[in-house]
Structure 1
Amino acid sequence: MCRNIRPLNNFAPPATDEEVAAAALQFVRKVAGTTQPSAANQAAFDAAVEEITRATRTLVDSLVTSAPPKDREVEATKAQARSAARFAR
């Protein structure tokens, strides 16, 4: 479930609101132990996603680093290479 949570800090361009929300959703799914909550838990699930999205955005916007921003395409290529090596047969 959490394989889709990616580092969001120090990228050029910065993380989008959609990326932050997707990471929050994956986190809530992991903690809740389900990808789809029951109707009785939907409101709590949605509220948790919204709250974690806000907290994550605040965190990412507040972090400071002296390292140069990472390039998304370069990082994606590295991840693909790691995946290919990991799952090579």
Structure 2
Amino acid sequence: MCRNIRVLHNFEPPATDDEVRAAAVQYVRKVSGSTHPAAVNQEAFDAAVEAVTAATRTLLDALVTKAPPRDREVEAAKAKERAAARYGPR
């Protein structure tokens, strides 16, 4: 999976539409192998992003969990610690 796609489920506050769309764009870029599609493919690329965005929102809205919601700041700090351990302090 693309490293830039982040977990969006079970956060408080819930994932925003912008976050869902950003994940969809990353997914479509990865699958298509193109970060900026040619003009001839732009319509197909945009349609795919919209479809993946809708599917992702449907999934997130339907998921159920008993776990307490995660805190974005705590998760960001954990990610920063993992990066520091992996790549060294920045």
What is the TM-score normalised by the length of structure 2?
Answer: 0.95
- 2:53 alignment partner in structure 1: 53
Cα distance between partner residues in 2 of 1:78 and 1:45: 33
- 1:78 alignment partner in structure 2: 78
Cα distance between partner residues in 2 of 1:34 and 1:82: 29
- 1:8 alignment partner in structure 2: 8
Q: CA RMSD in A?
A: 1.3
- 1:68 alignment partner in structure 2: 68
- 1:25 alignment partner in structure 2: 25
Query: Secondary structure in 2 aligned to 1:11?
Result: coil
What percent identity do the matched residue pairs reach?
A: 70
What is the TM-score normalised by the length of structure 1?
Answer: 0.96
Q: Per residue, is there more strand in 1 or in 2?
A: 1
Cα distance between partner residues in 1 of 2:66 and 2:35: 37
Cα distance between partner residues in 1 of 2:2 and 2:23: 8
Q: Would you say how many aligned residue pairs link Structure 1 and Structure 2? A: 89
Once the two structures are superposed, what CA deviation does each residue of 1:37-70 show, in whole Å capped at 9, x if it has no partner? 0000000000000000000000001000000000
Q: List runs of 5+ in structure 2 lacking aligned partners.
A: none
